[in-house]
Amino acid sequence: MENVEVFASPGKGRGLKATKEVWAGDVLFAEPYFAAVVFDSLAANVCHCCFRRQPKLQRCGQCRFAQYCDRTCQRAAWEEHKQECAAIKSYGQVPNENIRLAARIMWRLDKEGGVISDLQLTTLEELEDHISDLPEDDLKDLKVDIHNFLDFWPRTSKQHTVERISHIFGVINCNGFMVSDQKGLQAVGVGLFPNLCLVNHDCWPNCTVILNNGNHSAVNTLYHTQMRIELRALGKISEGEELTVAYVDYLNTSEDRKRMLKQQYFFDCTCEHCTNKINDDLKLDGALVDDVKVPDEKVKEVTEYSIEMLKKMEKARTDANYNEVVKICRECVEKQENVLADTHIYQLKMWSTLSEVLSYLQFFEEAAFYARKMVEGYMKLYHPNNAQLGMATMRAGVTHWQAGHIEVGHGMICKAYAILLVTHGPTHPITKDLEAMRIQTEMELRMFKQNEYVYHSMREAALKNQPMKMMAEPMEEGIKSLFRKK
C-alpha cells in the first residue's frame, strides 16, 4: 500500500491519506474482497463465483443452492463454498444473505486469521459495528439474524461468542459494499473489503470506488484475485490529503443526504457541501418563464405531486409494466414543464426513467430528447468526473445513436469515454464497450459527412443485424450508492 496510509482523521476517527501526489484516474489501491455473497433475490440468476449474470447456470449438486457459469467457476469457488455447502445441507434450508456473508467471514477468520495479506491495513475486529447506535427495530432484526446464524452454524466448526458474531453483523451492516454484475450496471451481491472501510465520506469526494471483475477465463481460477475494488482519484490529490468517497448519491439534497448518512452510518456529515447547502437551490428550484420566476407555492405543489408520481412509477417499474411507467412519467413531465427548473432533482429523475424506458420500448426519438435534457441537468450538478454522470452520458449517447443523431451521439459517447477512463479505468468492461462504441460512431460520423444518403442506408441495414445495446432491460435500480442500504 505504497500510495496510502492510515491516520487519525479529525472528527472522523481513522481514515486514509495519500502518501504521494496522484492525478485523475490513478489507482490508489486495489483490494480483493474478504468475503462476498450473491443477493437472495438473484441467487438463481448470478454465478456465485464470478458474479456474472448468465441465462443458464449449473447448480451445485450437493446443496442445490449455489449456481455457477461452468466447472471452472465451481472449482474456483469450492474452497469458499464447501463449508457453506455442508451447512446448508445439514440446516435443511438456505439462510438469508446477511447470515451467509457472516458465515463466510467467520470461516475465513477461523482459517486464515484477521489479516489475509500484507496489503490489508486493518483487521475486522478494529472496524466499527455501531451496534449501540441501532434503533430498536434494527436491534430486533439483528437478534433474529444472530439466532438463525447460531442454528445454521455447524457444531463441527469453531464456536464463537454472541458478542463476536454481533460485531461481524454490525460491520456488515455499516460496511457492506455493493457487488455488481460484469457490466457494472446492476448490484447483484454484497461483500466486505476491509481497506475500503477506512475511507471516510465526503459528499464531494476526491475518489471513487469501482468494482472490476477482471477477465473471465479458464486460466484464472484465483477467485480472490479476480474480483477487486479499485479506489481511483477523481482529480489531483496532494501528498497528505485525506482520501474520501461518497457513501450516498450527490443528487439528493443536503438535508436528505445527512438524514441517510445518520440513519445508515451513524454520523453527522459536516462536509462543505452539506454545511453550505451547495446546489440545494438548483436541485429544488423553479423555472424561469419569460425571465419571471415561477411562484414558490406552485413549485412546492408540483414538487409534492412529483414525489407521489415517482412512487407510482417505481411500483410500475418493479412490476415491469413499462407502458404504465411511460404513461406516469409523461403525465408528470407535463405538470413539471415551465414550473420546475431543468436542475430540479424530481424532474431529472422523471427524465432519466422516461429516456431509459422509451429506449427499451424503441421510441428512440423521444428517448433521445429526454436523455439530452437529463445529461444537461446532471452536468450542472455533478462533479465533472462523477461516475453517474459518465454512465448517464453514455446511455444518452447510445440513445441518440439509436435515434439516428450520429453527431450528437458521437459527441456524448466521447464525453462519457473521457469520464469513465477516470472513474472506471481503461480495462473495465464498461470502458472497453464504450471504446468500441466510440470507434464505431467515429467511423459512422465520417461516413455521414461524406454522404448522408449512403450512411442512412447502410445504418438501417446494420441495425437489422446487430443493433447497438447498452442493457437488455431497464434495471429496477442502478448502483447509485456504493454501500448497501438496508
Of residues 398, 352, 402, 356, the one with CA closest to residue 377: 352
Read off φ and ψ for residue 34, nearest 5 degrees.
Answer: -80, -40
The DSSP code for 302 is H
For residues 406 and 441, the answer to whether their CB atoms sit within 8 Å is yes
What is the rounded average pLDDT of the residues 167-188? 88
Residues 402 and 364 in one domain: yes
Residues 61 and 200 in one domain: yes
pLDDT-wise least confident of 105-114, 181-190, 371-380, 427-436? 181-190
For residues 402 and 468, the answer to whether their CB atoms sit within 8 Å is yes
Domain membership of residue 51 (yes or no) is yes
Q: What is the pLDDT of residues 381-426, one digit of tens each?
A: 999 999 999 999 999 999 999 999 999 999 999 999 999 999 999 9
Domain membership of residue 127 (yes or no) is yes
H/E run at residue 352 = helix 345-360
Distance CA 77, CA 210 (A): 22
For residues 47 and 54, the answer to whether their CB atoms sit within 8 Å is yes
Distance CA 94, CA 115 (A): 28
Query: For residue 364, what is its C-alpha cell?
Result: 428512440
Residues 125 and 237 in one domain: yes
The per-residue pLDDT for 214 is: 58
Query: For residue 184, what is its C-alpha cell?
Result: 457494472
Residues 235 and 339 in one domain: no
Domain membership of residue 452 (yes or no) is yes
Residues 38 and 127 in one domain: yes
Q: What is the pLDDT of residues 185-203, one digit of tens each?
A: 788 999 999 999 999 999 9
Q: How many domains does the chain have?
A: 2
Collapsing DSSP to helix, strand or coil, 212 comes out as strand
Predicted TM-score of the model (pTM): 0.90
Q: CA 176: distance to chain centroid?
A: 12
Q: What is the pLDDT of residues 142-152, one digit of tens each?
A: 999 999 999 99
Distance CA 420, CA 20 (A): 23
For residues 407 and 382, the answer to whether their CB atoms sit within 8 Å is no
Residues 221 and 125 in one domain: yes
Residues 317 and 458 in one domain: yes
The two most distant CA atoms of the chain are separated, in Å, by 76
Which CATH number belongs to the domain containing residue 31 in this structure? Answer: 2.170.270.10
Domain membership of residue 267 (yes or no) is no
45: domain range?
A: 4-246
Domain membership of residue 476 (yes or no) is no
340 bridge partner residues: 286
The per-residue pLDDT for 281 is: 96
The per-residue pLDDT for 224 is: 38
Distance CA 202, CA 383 (A): 12
Residues 222 and 276 in one domain: no
Residues 201 and 302 in one domain: no
pLDDT-wise least confident of 239-243, 245-249, 274-278, 450-454? 450-454
Phi-psi group of 404: left, alpha or beta (phi > 0 → left; psi -120 to 50 → alpha; rest → beta)? left
Q: CA 161: distance to chain centroid?
A: 34
Domain membership of residue 417 (yes or no) is yes
Residues 242 and 281 in one domain: no
Residues 239 and 355 in one domain: no
Residues 85 and 215 in one domain: yes
Query: For residue 411, what is its C-alpha cell?
Result: 459527441
Q: What is the pLDDT of residues 332-386, one digit of tens each?
A: 999 999 999 999 999 999 999 999 999 999 999 999 999 999 999 999 999 999 9
Q: What is the pLDDT of residues 83-108, one digit of tens each?
A: 999 999 999 999 999 999 999 999 99
Q: What is the pLDDT of residues 206-252, one digit of tens each?
A: 999 998 875 443 333 333 345 789 999 999 999 999 999 999 999 99
The per-residue pLDDT for 459 is: 75
Which CATH number belongs to the domain containing residue 285 in this structure? Answer: 1.25.40.10
pLDDT greater than 60 at residue 447: yes
pLDDT greater than 90 at residue 477: no
Half-sphere exposure of 428 (CA within 13 A, CB side): 27
Of residues 34, 117, 47, the one with CA closest to residue 75: 47
Domain membership of residue 458 (yes or no) is yes
Domain membership of residue 206 (yes or no) is yes
The per-residue pLDDT for 186 is: 82
